[in-house]
Amino acid sequence: TDLSKIRNFSIIAHIDHGKSTLADRLIQRTGGLTEREMSAQVLDNMDIERERGITIKAQTVRLEWKGHVLNLMDTPGHVDFAYEVSRSLAACEGALLVVDAAQGVEAQTLANVYQSIEHDHEIVPVINKIDLPAAEPERVKEEIEEVIGLDASNAVLASAKSGIGIDEVLDAIIERIPAPGGDADAPLKAMLVDSWYDPYLGVVILVRVMAGTLKKGQQIKFMQAGTTHLVDRVGCFRPKIEQLTELGVGEIGFITAQIKEVAQTAVGDTITDAKKPADAPLPGFQEVQPVVFCGLFPVDANDFDKLRESIHKLRLNDASFSFEMETSAALGFGFRCGFLGLLHLEIIQERLSREYDLDLITTAPSVVYEIELTHGNGQLELHNPADMPDPNTIEEISEPWIQAVIYVPDEYLGSILKLCQDRRGIQKNLTYVGGRAQVTYELPLNEVVFDFYDRLKSISRGYASFDYEQIGYRAGDLVKMSILVNGEPVDALSMIVHRSVAESRGRHMCERLKDLIPRHLFKIPIQAAIGGKVIARETIAALRKDVTAKCYGGDITRKRKLLEKQKEGKKRMREYGSVQIPQEAFIAALRMG
Ligand code: GTP
């Protein structure tokens, strides 16, 4: 293909601003299909592919328009997957910025736009949903200029729903987004943009060719991983799979090479010719590092093997979470797992319980702390609060910080600032755009991992949006707070906190647990402690004797029934010494309220 006839672009949009609808329209328009044919043909074909188990991941599709090849690159929308997003963007020369004509610019859009600008993209603003009565395209244009600093005078006005402005969008892609560059005669350099597991094809790899040509039958080498493979399929999605013989420089498409696990295909790796390799890999490669860790334990110890199997299966298709076996005195056998962020954690947890039907106990999520030991004894990374070394051997503890951008309507600003302040935030910036405020805060990640996002949403009735990036480690006065139930420490509830908030967190945890743990025949003290020092205490009163005395009388069948019931109940409980703690307590106790 003639390089000057190729355009590679992505679509940046806030959730619900119409990215999928617009993508569908572009496919429909360029395929020359009517709406009826579109639903009949394309979807039917998709069904067949689904039956065959061929997954068409996302919307990375090749379109043809006025003699040009347009590659639409889908990008994941969430902050947890920022590195994947950066690689997708590095595979393109431009982006459509879709903004809802009634809603205007949102925080998440902003972060993605800035990333796109960093990649030197040409950005084409598309103001969507102009069919809505509440549409204010002129105001949104101003907002794009004011907030993002992007010329919006030639923004395309569109309605993906009614099909207005679709040709204009396609024309703008050709006219305004530059063609890719690259040397067709140089040794092959292709970027591994994404990969996923397909039960029929094995691992499918999405690539962007930066130099040379990628051919079927070629022996290739992954420069970071150091492995070699034989390419057995080359192709693109239209959106149906179409096999090709090669991908030229500047092109986007997929390959398969009989690879069994996505873990072997690191996003950002450089694919080169094994026999005639490139001198140096493409810049910007990063190994993805999990940032949030928690323990996953089966509620029923008999489910451990099932949990292990399920985790291995999930890992086949998601190389970005890590796991290793963990044993806890209280919870038995389980796994310590690492995730890219909280959303990622939730996705995996949800899949384990839904798809694999597992009842799990999740221990408090924790970030990774860096600990400097005294007497030059070196450094260590702490992934699990339970492994915290003796404080006397610690010179300094550092924790990861983030920079957060929050976008919120004026009337909720006060409560949002208070929330950030309570979480040890440092305000960096505050500006107003229209009736909304944009606040920038630096916050310790450990103050954000648990329920910050939920709080933010509930305080602002869903109107605040939030985005963050990591900005490195900073030393802090951090201590391990243990929770003791009936005098015994409960590992799964121990957490690392800043000394300044330890007492209020401790008190809160004890109060919560008091409500969450059922009464027993004896008094149960619940304590929060730092080192040997108790900083908060509550007591669960004992059940009165006569209430339970009844259970022990009566006939034998009634007794057996009661025992059965107790067994069922016990499954969902965990025993600590002689105290039973219900599963819900582990997570509920950690919500800061
Ligand atoms: P996610 O897939 O959740 O990220 O959302 P998205 O950005 O892909 O938005 P999507 O295309 O799913 O559209 C969100 C909603 O807006 C849907 O209900 C669409 O029907 C609607 N919508 C999309 N484009 C238009 C438009 O031009 N006009 C109107 N009125 N509604 C639209």
**Is the predicted pLDDT of residue 13 greater than 50, yes or no?**
yes
Higher pLDDT pick, 546 / 276:
276
CA 113 to chain centre: 18
In three-state secondary structure terms, 124 is: strand
Binding-site residue numbers for GTP are: 16-21, 128-131
Mean pLDDT of 134-157: 92
Whether the CB-CB separation of 505 and 535 falls below 8 Å is answered with no
The residues with which 474 forms a beta bridge, in sequence order, are 399
The helix or strand, by DSSP H or E, that contains position 139, with its residue range, turns out to be helix 137-143
Bond from prior residue into 239 cis (ω within 30 degrees of 0): yes
Q: What is the identity of the amino acid at 535?
A: I
Spatial separation of the C-alpha atoms in residues 235 and 254, rounded to whole Å: 5
pLDDT, tens only, 492-526: 788 899 999 899 889 988 998 888 888 888 888 99
422 lines ligand 1 (CB under 6 A): no
Distance from Cα 74 to the centre of ligand 1, integer Å? 16
**Is the predicted pLDDT of residue 425 greater than 90, yes or no?**
yes
Look-up: residue for tokens 């090479």? 257
Vertex 533: Cα angle to 529 and 534 (nearest 5): 50
Model pLDDT, residue 576: 63
Nearest CA to ligand 1 atom 29: 129
Spatial separation of the C-alpha atoms in residues 458 and 442, rounded to whole Å: 21
Compute φ and ψ for 9, nearest 5 degrees. Answer: -145, 160
Distance from Cα 472 to the centre of ligand 1, integer Å? 36
Mean pLDDT of 361-389: 87
Spatial separation of the C-alpha atoms in residues 341 and 207, rounded to whole Å: 25
Distance from Cα 110 to the centre of ligand 1, integer Å? 19
Spatial separation of the C-alpha atoms in residues 125 and 478, rounded to whole Å: 46
Structure tokens at 472: 């490195």
Start-to-end Cα distance in the chain = 59
Whether the CB-CB separation of 335 and 216 falls below 8 Å is answered with no
Pairing type for strands 156-157 and 122-128 reads parallel
Nearest CA to ligand 1 atom 13: 18
Spatial separation of the C-alpha atoms in residues 579 and 46, rounded to whole Å: 54
Structure tokens at 536: 């908060």
pLDDT classification of 397: cutoffs 50, 70, 90: very high
pLDDT classification of 583: cutoffs 50, 70, 90: low
Least confident piece of the model among 34-48, 78-92, 110-124 = 34-48
Nearest CA to ligand 1 atom 10: 18
Nearest CA to ligand 1 atom 14: 16
Whether the CB-CB separation of 365 and 342 falls below 8 Å is answered with yes
pLDDT above 70 as % of the chain: 85
Beta strands in 110-216 (DSSP E): 122-128, 156-157, 189-198, 202-211, 214-215
HEC-encoded secondary structure of 393-448: HEEEEEEEEEEEEEEEEHHHHHHHHHHHHHCCCEEEEEEEECCEEEEEEEEEHHHC
Nearest CA to ligand 1 atom 23: 18
Whether the CB-CB separation of 196 and 56 falls below 8 Å is answered with no
pLDDT, tens only, 402-414: 998 888 888 899 9
Least confident piece of the model among 271-275, 279-283, 312-316, 575-579 = 575-579
Model pLDDT, residue 373: 93
Model pLDDT, residue 556: 61
The string of DSSP letters for 87-119 reads HHHHT-SEEEEEEETTT---HHHHHHHHHHHHT
Spatial separation of the C-alpha atoms in residues 153 and 168, rounded to whole Å: 14
Spatial separation of the C-alpha atoms in residues 113 and 95, rounded to whole Å: 9
Structure tokens at 40: 């009949």
Supply the angle between the helices 107-118 and 82-90 in degrees, to the nearest 10. Answer: 40
Dihedral sign computed on CA atoms, order 501, 502, 506, 507: negative
Nearest CA to ligand 1 atom 4: 15
Interface ipTM > 0.95: yes
> Radius of gyration (Cα) for the chain, nearest Å?
28
Higher pLDDT pick, 258 / 318:
258
Q: Which atom of ligand 1 is nearest to the CA of 132?
A: 30
In three-state secondary structure terms, 69 is: strand
Q: Which atom of ligand 1 is nearest to the CA of 159?
A: 27
Mean pLDDT of 117-141: 94
Spatial separation of the C-alpha atoms in residues 109 and 183, rounded to whole Å: 33
Within a 10 A sphere around the Cβ of 44, how many other Cβ atoms?
10
pLDDT classification of 593: cutoffs 50, 70, 90: very low
Instruction: List all residues 6 or more positions away from 235 whose beta carbon is below 8 Å from its beta carbon.
Output: 241, 242, 243, 244, 253, 254, 255
Structure tokens at 456: 């933010």
Model pLDDT, residue 201: 86
Among 220-224, 325-329, 360-364, the range with the most confident prediction by mean pLDDT is: 220-224
Distance from Cα 136 to the centre of ligand 1, integer Å? 17
159 lines ligand 1 (CB under 6 A): yes
329 lines ligand 1 (CB under 6 A): no
Vertex 203: Cα angle to 199 and 204 (nearest 5): 105
pLDDT classification of 55: cutoffs 50, 70, 90: very low
